[in-house]
Amino acid sequence: MASVAVSASGYDLSGVRSQLQAAVAANQPPGLSLSIRHRNRLIFREAYGRIAFGIPFTTESRVFLASSTKLISMAAVMVCVDRGLIRLDDPVGAYLPAFRDMPVVGSTRRANPTIRQCMAHTSGMRGTSAAIGNPAITLEQAVAIIAQENTPLRAQPGTEFFYGGASMHVVGRVVEVVTGTPFDTFVRQNILVPCRMTRTAFTESGDFTANPHVAGGMWSTLDDYMNFLTMLYANGLFEGRRVLSAAACLEMRRDQTQGARIVSSPYQGYGQAETRYGFGWWRNTLDSNGVGINVSDGGALGTLPWIDYRTGVLGVFFAQTPLNQVFQLTEQVRASVNNAVQQATPPRPSPRTVGVYRPANGNVYLKFDNTSGFADMSFFYGQAGDIPVVGDWDGDGVQSVGIFRQGQFFLKNTNGPGVADIVFNFGAPGDWPVAGDWNGDGRDTIGVYRNGIFLLRDTNDAGPADYIINYGNPNDLPVVGDWDGDLFTTVGCFRPSDGFAYLRNTNTSGFADVAFFYGLAGDMPVAGDWTGQGFDTFGVYRQGTFFLRNSNTPGFADFTVQLGLPGDLPLAGRWR
Ligand SMILES: [Ca+2]
Ligand SMILES: [Ca+2]
Ligand SMILES: [Ca+2]
């Protein structure tokens, strides 16, 4: 073994290790590396064999990404979409006149391929061009050649999926035009630097290139690429800083081929010809909404980064051997990793316990276990009319009580009297505050509920909502929790008119994933993981008594806790 092993407690990855070692021992491939994160934890990072004759493959090896570049370049394009510089359905010709009103082979109808079609290989252009790899010209010059080569287009835009790099090269030039920045520099400034991808570049030397191979020219490392995946998995946030919008991260996983006939795809060679493309992502498995939940971006030289949202696995597989020779191995490795994390017993979270907030005077009463009796801790925080909000703002595993006052949040990192650590404006008077870990990065942030709409933010500061979710009715009360145990907090509501809890497992508008009868008009909803089982359950607080359950199903309370007085508001957290 060429480098340091990471062995995370609770995970048995010996099967994965044996699989990799056996493959390298058989010289298929001669060398490889693999990094795996499970949700917030790095659980595997190893390398075997050689990358070239006499040179060991290590976890630090810098590899050629080929098409695994696409995901990074398309993320950079989405930065421009986030900033409103371009729209996905804009015609490319709006920015590059050579692509306006293009003739099409066998058609009298002129065509205007869109940015979306260029990103999704359905533009009608040919897959490749000799201009792409030419270091003696600029991206502008290369795209002028691509325009000539594709006049006429080979197909009407939107009708045929033809995998390649030419149309993405064109989009790279659009980025240059709208930002006034070379694409190489734009990617570095907006993706590589914020994701701390210090050893990733469009050249082997790391030097600037005026004609970056947008769809296939990057070099990178295991850790750099994992940082990038970590950003995507956290809905666009990396180390507390926004790189991409949550909406952009989701859009990249949607079907962008939009019914186009698949004419040329590498998946035709893997017996999975109907695999559809997002932006940079191949969508290997879909959820019920058609969003890719097992997605990958394989490169022709044996690189295969992937994210499996079902199991919370983020993986980077690197070889430097043609992908068609290692594709089966990557499939086996992905299955073994899923198996290992599903069998794993990561450390159990400590249970949440109850508390109450007394809006009449701003007193907080917290219990350190879920039994009736006097509070274990009480203190004064806030003033009459404030509404409490509970979260782990600093990611230390302990929740603390903050307050919402007329469109302003006052958050503290400890439970006790004193002044707020964080004060900022979000929401409006009359909103109901909520808090949770919307992006699964281990820190809770705030949001508000306003008449059937959740407005959620991934950072505790003033700014626009990162998620706007239509969910529930105007008279519903919001309740949020990690109902499925994937470490992402999602929305729910309690409907006093019918006593139902409506819980959703994604922070998107849509129908409830789980709905059940529990509670009465006048109850206040509360959610928490009372046993350390790994997911939150719904309960209610009624006039001084908590009625709590250990599953999200209809039925009677599994236990009750008496605390507080009628008119108090319920709290739940890990208080210490
Ligand atoms: Ca904390
Ligand atoms: Ca978070
Ligand atoms: Ca969840």
Residue with tokens 């409490």: 388
- Domains, the chain, ranges and CATH? 1-65+299-347 (no CATH), 68-219+226-270 (3.40.710.10), 353-573 (2.120.10)
pLDDT at 3: 42
Distance from CA of residue 422 to its chain's centroid?
26
CA distance 141 to 292: 35
Ligand nearest to the CA of 237: 2
pLDDT at 1: 42
- Give me ligand 2 centre to Cα 478, in Å: 18
CA distances to 370, 415, 435 from 365, rounded to whole Å, are 13, 10, 19
- Give me ligand 1 centre to Cα 357, in Å: 18
Structure tokens at 418: 């004193």
Report residues near ion ligand 2: CB below 5 Å: 437, 439, 441, 443
- Give me ligand 2 centre to Cα 443, in Å: 4
Task: Decide if pLDDT at 447 tops 60.
Answer: yes
Ligand nearest to the CA of 309: 3
CA distance 503 to 487: 15
CA distance 555 to 519: 10
Average pLDDT over residues 455-461: 98
Instruction: Count CB neighbours of 122 within 10 A.
Output: 30
H or E element at residue 547? strand 545-548
Share of the chain above pLDDT 70, in %: 99
CA distance 115 to 168: 9
pLDDT at 7: 57
Task: Decide if pLDDT at 139 tops 80.
Answer: yes
Residues facing residue 494 across a β-bridge: 477, 501
Strands (E) across 256-359 are located at: 261-264, 276-277, 282-286, 292-296, 303-308, 313-319, 353-358
CA distance 116 to 108: 23
CB 354 within 8 A of CB 563: yes
Structure tokens at 383: 């003033």
H or E element at residue 517? strand 514-517
Ligand nearest to the CA of 413: 1
Using pLDDT thresholds of 50, 70 and 90, give the confidence band for residue 205.
very high
pLDDT in tens, 79-97: 999 999 999 999 999 999 9
Ligand nearest to the CA of 536: 3
Ligand nearest to the CA of 391: 1
Judged by average pLDDT, the poorest of 97-106, 146-155, 203-212, 339-348 is 339-348
pLDDT at 345: 82
pLDDT at 347: 76
Average pLDDT over residues 406-425: 96
Share of the chain above pLDDT 90, in %: 95
Edge-to-edge strand list for the sheet holding 422-425: 387-391, 400-405, 408-411, 422-425
pLDDT in tens, 314-368: 999 999 999 999 999 999 999 999 999 999 987 778 899 999 999 999 999 999 9
Task: Decide if pLDDT at 131 tops 60.
Answer: yes
Task: Decide if pLDDT at 53 tops 80.
Answer: yes
pLDDT in tens, 248-276: 999 999 999 999 999 999 999 999 999 99
Task: State the pTM of this model.
Answer: 0.96
